[in-house]
Structure 1
Amino acid sequence: MGDGLTRVKQCKQCRRPLDERRRGRPKRFCSRWHRVRYWLEELGELVLS
């Protein structure tokens, strides 16, 4: 059947492995704070460049 190999998504901020519970829109961050921090860093890069 399956070969048992699954790709594990990682948090975009800290690279911690995420559990894949949702199929339609998978998680990209492990916590709300990491989501906010990631977007603040992205916004800072856009403003400073």
Structure 2
Amino acid sequence: MSFIVILGVLAIILFLFFREQAVRYLEKNNHMILNPTENSDEAKL
């Protein structure tokens, strides 16, 4: 039973970590999709 609990906790930690990494990756490479207003302001400058 404890083995299953440990696996569940590890899965949650990995899920949160990879989700955070994916969000950072998207924010870094897809400003156009996430923040169109910011990208247009940068284009004006």
Normalised by the length of structure 2, the TM-score is 0.42
Higher relative contact order (CA 8 A, sep 6+): 1
Structure showing greater Rg = 2
